[in-house]
Chains A and B, each alone.
Chain A
Amino acid sequence: MRKAELVMAAVMAVFSLYLMYKSTELPIGWMKGKGPGGGAYPFWLSAAMLVSCIVIFVRGYLRKSPPSQSDETYMDRHTIKLFLLVAGSLTITIGLVHIIGMYFAVAIFLLYYLRYLGGHSWKLVGSFSVGFPTALFFFFEGALKITLPKGYAEPLFIPLYSIIY
C-alpha cells in the first residue's frame, strides 16, 4: 500500500506540473481591463494540486497516512487478474466500437462477460447478447434519435432503418 501511495502521489505531481505548464499557454497574469488571464485560474489550481501531492508524498514517506501504514497489498494476484479481465475487456470493447460499431461490440462483450466470467447457460447468454443490443438500437436510434457508431457494420442496419424511420 505504501509503495502505491508514493507512486500515485508522484505520478499526480508530474501530472500537476504538466497542467501548470499547459496553463501557461494562455496568459496567467493580470490583463489590464480584462481581469486575470485565461491561464491564471487553472495555473493556480494546478499549483495547489502540486502542493497537495507533495504533502501526500511526504506523509506517505513518513508513514503518516493510513494507506502508507497498511501492510495489505495494493492489489493481490486474484484482484489483478479480475481487474485485467474486466478493464481489459472494456478496453477491447470500446476499441471494437470503432471497427464493428456499438451494437456488435456490445453483443460480443455481453457474450464474453456472461459466458466466460459469469458461466451462465447458453440460453441466457444468447438472449441477453441479442436482446440487449436490439433494445438499445430501438431506444437510441428510434426513440432518442441518437445514432451510435456502426463502423463497418453499417450496411447491415439498412433494413432496420426502414422500421424506425
Chain B
Amino acid sequence: MEIIHLLLDGFGVALQPLNLLMIVLGVTVGLFIGAMPGLGSVNGVAILLPMTFLVPPTSAIIFLGAIYYGAMYGGAISSIMLGIPGASTAVATTFDGRPLALKGEADKALIAAATASFVGGTISVVLFTMFAPPLADFALGFGAPEEFALMMLAFATFVGLGGDDIPKTIFSICIGLVFGAVGLDIISGQPRLIFMDITGFMHGINFLVLAIGIYGIGEMLWVIEVNKGNVVVSQANISMKRTIQCFKELGRTTKTMVMGSVLGYFVGILPAAGATPGSLMAYGVAKTTADDPESFGKGNLNGVVAPEAANNAASTGSMLPMLTLGIPGSPTTAILLGGMVIWGLEPGPMLFVNEKEFVWGLIASLYAANLFALIINIGFIPFFIWILKLPFTIIAPIIFVLCIVGGFAPTKDMHDVWLMLIFGVVGYSMRKLDYPMAPAVLAIVLGPLAEPSLRQSLLISDGSFAIFFNRPIAGPITVVALILILLPLVKFFRRTTPSQEPL
C-alpha cells in the first residue's frame, strides 16, 4: 500500500506544469530522434543532456526519460516507412513492418507499433514499480565489496553475453575505466594520468565528452557514410475508419504483446543485453510459438507487435538496476546515471531514501510519458513521415553544432571540445573495425564509482581479494561474474588454439 501512496506523490510531482511540459517536449523530441534513421535514444540523451541544466534535476531526468521512451516509439516509424531501422532497437520491426508498408498497410503497422509500445511500456512500468522498492531496500545493506562485485557483474555481462569480439570488448571496458581514472587520485589527491601535462586533464575526463564524442560526432560520421544512397518513403493512408478496423485486428495480438513486454523487461535489466537483443528475442519467440510461422517476414502483425512491445519494456527494465543499484542497464541509462552525478545526486539505493521526490517523480513520469507518446505518435503520424523526408544535410550540421556547444557546457573548457572531437573520430574508426563502444561509455561512468569501492574493499581485507568471495552477497555475484568472463574465454581459446597448431 505504501507503494501506491508513494506513486501518487510521484504523480503529484510529474504532473506539475513544468514537468508535464518536459514530458510532452521530451516525448516529441524522442519521437523525432527515434524516427531519424541511425539516431536512437542514446544519441538524443547524450547530445541533449547539457541542455537540461536549465531546469531542476527532477525535471531534467523526466525530460531525458521521456526522450528515451519517445525514441523507442519513433524507431518503428522509419523501420516501417523506409525499411531502415530508425534505431538499432527497431531492427526487428523492419522484418514484418516493411512488408506491411509495401502492401499498402503502413498505417496498420504504425498503429500496431505504437499500441504495442504503449502496452510494453505500461506493463514494464508496473513491473518496475513493484520490483524497484524491495530491490532498493535489499541493496541498502550493500558495502564496498558488494558494490564492486555488482560492477564486475555488469562488465562481465558484456564479455559473456555481449556477442562482440571478446578481446575488443575487454579493451573497450578497460580503456573506459582508465579514462575514468584521469584527473586527481581520489584517495591521495595527487594528479594522475595528466597526458602531455596538459592542464585540461586535471579536472578529469567528463563522461559526457566521451559520450557526445562517440554517440554524437562518431555516430554522425557513421550515419553520413552509411546513408549514401537514396531511400523510398512509403505512403500511409490514415482514416478514422481504418484506425478502428486496425484496433480490432490488434485485439488478436494481445498474447504476443504481453509476451514481448515481459521478455523485454527482463532482458533489459542486463547491462549488455537491452532493447536490441530483447526485441530480436521477442520476435523469435513470437515466430516459433505462432500457429502460422511461415507468414512471418511477409507482413504478420504479430511480428511488429512483439519487438515493439519488447524494446519499450527493455528501456524500463534497464532503469531498474540504474535507480536501485546505481548500475546502468544500457548505454542510455549510463548517461542518465552520469547526469545524476552532475546534478549532485548520489546514485544507488540511497536515492529511494533521500530523494523520494526525484525517484517517484521519474517513475510516475514514465506512466505519463507512455500515454503522451501514444497520443502524439498516432496523432501526428503524417508529421513524422514528413520528417523522414527531411534531407540529412540539414539535420547533420545542427547535431554537430549541438555536440560542440554541449561538449563545452558542462566544464566550460575548450579542451573538452577538442577531446570530444578526437574521441568522435577515433571512436568512428574503431567502430568500423567492430570495437564495441557501449562498454567504454558504461565504464567511464562507472569507473569513478568502481575504483573507490575496490580500494576500500582491499583496505578492509588488507589486500586480500578473498573479500569478494567470502561475503554472503558479494561472493555469489563475483562467482557469476567470473563464470561469465571465463566461459567465453575458455571457448574462445579452445576455438583458436587447435587451428594455430599447423603454423
* Residues in A lying within 8 Å of B, measured CB to CB: 1, 4-5, 8, 12, 19, 22-23, 25-26, 30, 34-39, 41-42, 45-46, 48-49, 52-53, 55-56, 59, 62, 64-67, 74-75, 78-79, 82-83, 86-87, 90-91, 93-94, 97-98, 102, 106, 109-110, 113-114, 117-120, 124, 128, 132, 136, 139-140, 143-144, 146-149
Beyond A19-B193, A49-B175, whether A93 also contacts B54 by CB under 8 A is: no
> Which residue of A has the minimal Cβ distance to B435?
A8
CB distance from A14 to the nearest CB of B (A): 13
Residue in A25, A49, A79, A114 whose CB lies within 8 Å of B397: A114
Assembly CA distance A132 to B405 (angstroms): 12
Contacts of B53 in A (CB 8 A): 144, 146
B429 lies within 8 A of chain A by Cβ: yes
Beyond A45-B178, A87-B425, A118-B391, whether A94 also contacts B193 by CB under 8 A is: no
Most buried by A among B175, B178, B192: B178
Main secondary structure, interface of B, reads helix
Assembly CA distance A24 to B397 (angstroms): 42
Contacts of A64 in B (CB 8 A): 496, 499
Contacts of B220 in A (CB 8 A): 86
Q: Is the CB of A42 within 8 A of B181?
A: yes
Q: Is the CB of A67 within 8 A of B187?
A: no
Main secondary structure, interface of A, reads helix
Q: Is the CB of A83 within 8 A of B170?
A: no
> Which residue of B has the minimal Cβ distance to A37?
B188
Assembly CA distance A11 to B2 (angstroms): 56
- Since A35-B459, A37-B188, A66-B165 are in contact, a sample of 5 more A-B pairs with Cβ atoms closer than 8 Å, ordered by chain A residue number, is A65-B165, A83-B225, A97-B417, A109-B397, A113-B393
Assembly CA distance A102 to B404 (angstroms): 9
B154 lies within 8 A of chain A by Cβ: no
Q: Is the CB of A41 within 8 A of B434?
A: no
Q: Is the CB of A42 within 8 A of B393?
A: no
CB distance from A138 to the nearest CB of B (A): 12
Assembly CA distance A5 to B185 (angstroms): 34
Residue in A5, A26, A75, A114 whose CB lies within 8 Å of B188: A26
Q: Is the CB of A35 within 8 A of B224?
A: no
B126 lies within 8 A of chain A by Cβ: no
Beyond A26-B185, A59-B167, A114-B393, whether A39 also contacts B401 by CB under 8 A is: no
Q: Is the CB of A79 within 8 A of B391?
A: no
> Which residue of B has the minimal Cβ distance to A15?
B175
Assembly CA distance A49 to B391 (angstroms): 41
B376 lies within 8 A of chain A by Cβ: no
Contacts of B425 in A (CB 8 A): 87
Assembly CA distance A12 to B432 (angstroms): 15
Beyond A23-B193, A118-B391, whether A106 also contacts B401 by CB under 8 A is: yes
Number of contacting residues on B, CB 8 A?
Answer: 60
The 6 A-B residue pairs with the shortest CB-CB distance, nearest first, are A118-B393, A38-B185, A113-B397, A52-B171, A35-B459, A55-B167
A-B contact pairs, 29 of them (CB 8 A): A5-B433, A36-B458, A45-B178, A48-B170, A49-B175, A56-B165, A56-B167, A62-B500, A67-B433, A78-B228, A82-B224, A82-B225, A83-B221, A87-B425, A90-B400, A106-B404, A110-B401, A113-B396, A114-B393, A114-B397, A118-B393, A118-B394, A120-B391, A128-B394, A132-B401, A144-B54, A144-B409, A146-B53, A149-B408
B503 lies within 8 A of chain A by Cβ: yes
Assembly CA distance A45 to B499 (angstroms): 29
Interface string of B169-194 (1 = CB under 8 A from A): 01100110110010001011010110
CB distance from A57 to the nearest CB of B (A): 9
Contacts of A53 in B (CB 8 A): 167, 171
CB distance from B214 to the nearest CB of A (A): 14
Q: Is the CB of B221 within 8 A of A86?
A: yes
Q: Is the CB of B405 within 8 A of A148?
A: yes
Assembly CA distance A128 to B391 (angstroms): 14
Q: Is the CB of B400 within 8 A of A146?
A: no
Beyond A65-B434, A87-B221, whether A56 also contacts B171 by CB under 8 A is: yes
CB distance from A40 to the nearest CB of B (A): 9
> Which residue of B has the minimal Cβ distance to A13?
B171
Residue in A42, A132, A136 whose CB lies within 8 Å of B193: A42
Assembly CA distance A37 to B454 (angstroms): 12
Assembly CA distance A74 to B225 (angstroms): 12
Q: Is the CB of A109 within 8 A of B400?
A: yes
Q: Is the CB of A45 within 8 A of B500?
A: no
Contacts of A94 in B (CB 8 A): 404, 414, 417-418, 421
> Which residue of A has the minimal Cβ distance to B410?
A146
Residue in A66, A86, A93 whose CB lies within 8 Å of B434: A66
B137 lies within 8 A of chain A by Cβ: no
Q: Is the CB of A38 within 8 A of B190?
A: yes
B9 lies within 8 A of chain A by Cβ: no
Most buried by A among B193, B434, B456: B193
Contacts of A25 in B (CB 8 A): 192
Q: Is the CB of B181 within 8 A of A41?
A: yes
Contacts of B391 in A (CB 8 A): 118, 120
Contacts of A49 in B (CB 8 A): 171, 174-175, 178
Contacts of A62 in B (CB 8 A): 496, 499-500, 503
Contacts of B486 in A (CB 8 A): none
> Which residue of B has the minimal Cβ distance to A83?
B221
B412 lies within 8 A of chain A by Cβ: yes
Q: Is the CB of A143 within 8 A of B54?
A: yes
Contacts of A132 in B (CB 8 A): 398, 401
> Which residue of B has the minimal Cβ distance to A133?
B401
Contacts of A87 in B (CB 8 A): 221, 421, 425
Contacts of A120 in B (CB 8 A): 391, 393-394
Assembly CA distance A98 to B417 (angstroms): 11
B455 lies within 8 A of chain A by Cβ: yes
Q: Is the CB of B171 within 8 A of A22?
A: no
CB distance from A152 to the nearest CB of B (A): 15
Most buried by A among B167, B404, B409, B503: B167
